Structure 1
Amino acid sequence: MTAGETVRGLLELLRPVNVIAASVLTFIGAFVAGGVTEAPVAVAAAVAATGLAVGAGNAINDYFDREIDRINQPERAIPRGAVSARGALAYSLVLFALATGLAVTLPLLAIGIAVVNLVALVAYTEFFKGLPGVGNAVVAYLVGSTFLFGAAAVGEYGDVEPAVVLALLAAIATLTREIIKDVEDIEGDRAEGLRTLPIAIGERRAIALSAILLAIAVLASPVPYLLGYFGVAYLLVVVPADAIMLYAAAESVGDPTAGQSHLKYGMFLASLAFIVGRAVPAVSGL
């Protein structure tokens, strides 16, 4: 195995797209809180810590999944021999250490969130992934908490409350999408002996549960406007996002693949609504 192959394997273990996405969510959390310009160093540390922690979590998950991946994902870095199992474990530990080093420079609330998230990332594959609904809930929490982590990083310079609402809405929407993805993958998961939520309670009940969760998120989406965090500009973006997500939930009954894909677009637009909500009033007073 060449050095180039090893480097490529280490990069693959990170899942760069996931790392970048999580880092962006952390920045959005800080922006929504309103403290980016006042605490740029803390925001940079939080963004970097998020990326490192997510990469470390992906690497250690591949370490725990290495035997299953030899059968189901033989092209991944460990099964194909680009990175040894021991090397992947050491790599993840180094990344976790770097993430921890950055996190401890942040305010106390951010440190607390980082500790919980690091434990969840390490324990996900070994303990939570195989429990019906629990693994989905852990993933949903981790996505929502990235916003909250970014907001907590700016400390006294920002207002964490709007980011709390964003984190809760994002977690609920992510949980909905995770359940729908499990419905989409039900045949393969059943063949592999996995016990996901749709397998445990049935596809129809799983879809119904995801629809209820999404309805809660949609009904709660005007809260930032009603509490005076954001102006009308926020509503102008979040209402179309709600419409897309509700359409996706209905679509999932007949086509889970298309439904979860459209739900992702709705979630992106909902995140954009929070950015607009924070940015526009400062410009135009809307």
Structure 2
Amino acid sequence: MPVDERVRGLLNLTRPVNTIVAGILTFTGAFVAQGSGIVGSADSIAVATLVTILATGAGNAVNDYFDREIDQITNPERPLPRGSVTPQTALLFSAILFAVAGGLSLTLSPVAIAIAVINIGLLVAYTPVLKGLPGVGNAAIAYLGGSAFLFGGAAVEDLTAPGILFVLAALATFSREVIKDVEDITGDREKDLKTLPIVVGERRALLSAAVFLCLMAILTPLPYLLGTLGMPYLLVVLPATLIMLYAGYVSFSEPAAGQSFLKYGTFLTAAAFIVGRVATVL
């Protein structure tokens, strides 16, 4: 097999777009924490962003390793099913990325190191252990998605605004994951997976997603009420919150549309934090 095909296969294992987005979220967490002081912490922010990219890529690779038999049927275009990368190579590649990410994280604050260790453990355990546990797998993904913001804040040793953003993102991500499970319920039943909608029923699962979205909506004004971010934040986060509440409503009839709206709402919420931080700096 040509070398460039193997290299392309390894790159595809990491899901480059997803890894870069995760890195951007970590940078966002650092930015909303520090604002104009971000230049003074540039080294820590760069390391934290790189750690997130490497760990996310490693997690995607190891998940493909554990999912390789299912992917033969459901995702034959992925590197392992199509033969671009052997399972042993994928596992070794993932281990190297995890090791480099873990080593780099040791240059950061103790809180950032703790977050890195927890996240790497969850990424390794997700597919073989957590994914098959109803609700637990959703919670793990929700935590991992939100913790990218938290990790950025920990890198600059300021968790106030990133901590709130972490909670909001985690609540929205949990809801989106549950809605996605409802959308995928037919295929998941064929694979004998025990997702939340399969165990408790679609309507109850969607109701739980709606509860988490309502809780998120209640918490969104918190940065403004605490004086962390000003009115510009509130003006941007309000439509983001309405979009996500609408997503919860739509998901009862159109789960695919609901999770799409949730994704846009989550990114708009992150943008609200950036706008709010910029406004406090100017």
Place the TM-score, normalised by the shorter chain, in its bin: over 0.9
Matched, 1:231 2:233: no
Gaps of 5+ in 2: none
Letter in 2 for 1:97: A
How high is the TM-score relative to the length of structure 1?
A: 0.96
Residue 254 of structure 2 is matched in structure 1 by: 255
Tell me whether 1:176 sits opposite 2:178 in the alignment: no
- Report what 1:55 is aligned to: 57
User: What is the alpha-carbon distance in structure 2 between the residues aligned to residue 152 and residue 234 of structure 1?
Assistant: 22
Q: Which residue does the alignment assign to 1:87?
A: 89
Q: Deviation digits for residues 248-269 of structure 1, max 9, x if unmatched? A: 1111111000111011111111
Over the aligned positions, Cα root-mean-square deviation in angstroms equals 0.8
Letter in 2 for 1:28: T
Query: What is the distance in 1 between the residues matched to 2:252 and 2:81?
Result: 36
1:217 and 2:220 equivalent? no
The answer to whether 1:29 aligns with 2:29 is yes
Q: Offset of 1:71 from its aligned partner? A: 2.2
Distance apart, 1:21 and its partner CA? 0.8
Q: Which residue of 2 aligns with 1:191?
A: 190
Is 1:64–2:69 an aligned residue pair? no
* Structure 1 portions without partners, runs of 5+: none
In the alignment, is residue 8 of structure 1 matched against residue 18 of structure 2?
Answer: no
C-alpha separation in 1, matches of 2:23 and 2:38: 14
Aligned counterpart, 1:274: 273
Q: Which residue of 2 aligns with 1:110?
A: 112
Equivalent residue of 1:193, what SS?
A: coil
Q: Which amino acid aligns with 1:138?
A: A
- Displacement, 1:228? 0.6
Cα distance in 2 between the residues matched to 1:65 and 1:36: 40
Distance in 1 (CA, whole Å) between partners of 2:69 and 2:280 is 53
What is the Cα deviation at residue 75 of structure 1?
1.7
User: Amino acid of the residue matched to residue 29 of structure 1?
Assistant: G
Query: 1:28 Cα shift?
Result: 0.4
SS at match of 1:105: coil
Paired with 2:146 and 2:38, the residues of 1 have a C-alpha distance of: 19
- Looking at structure 2, the residues matched to 102 and 186 of structure 1 have their Cα atoms a distance apart, in angstroms, of 39
SS in 1 for 2:82: coil
Of all paired residues, the percent bearing the same amino acid is 57
Name which of 135, 141, 144 aligns with 1:142: 144
Write out per-residue CA displacement over residues 169-197 of structure 1, whole angstroms, 9 at most, x where no aligned residue: 10000000000000111111111111110
Q: Give the partner amino acid of 1:172.
A: L
CA distance in 2, matches of 1:245, 1:178: 13
CA distance in 2, matches of 1:23, 1:282: 23
> Match of 1:242?
241
SS of the residue corresponding to residue 36 of structure 1 reads helix
Given candidates 91, 99, 102, the residue that maps to 1:100 is 102
* Cα offsets for 1:50-93 (capped at 9, x unmatched): 00000001101111111221222222111111000000011001
SS of 1:56's equivalent in the other structure is helix
Indicate the SS of the match to 1:30.
Answer: helix
Kindly state the Cα deviation for residue 166 of structure 1 after the two structures are TM-superposed. Answer: 0.6
Structure 2 residue identity aligned to 1:66: R
Query: Residue type of the partner of 2:214?
Result: A
Deviations, residues 186-226 of structure 1 (Å, cap 9, x unaligned): 11111111111000100000111100100000111000000
* CA displacement, residues 94-126 of structure 1 (integer Å, 9 cap, x when unaligned): 101110121000010000000000000001011
> After TM superposition, where is structure 1 displaced by more than 3 Å over at least 4 residues in a row?
none
Q: Which residue of 2 aligns with 1:164?
A: 163
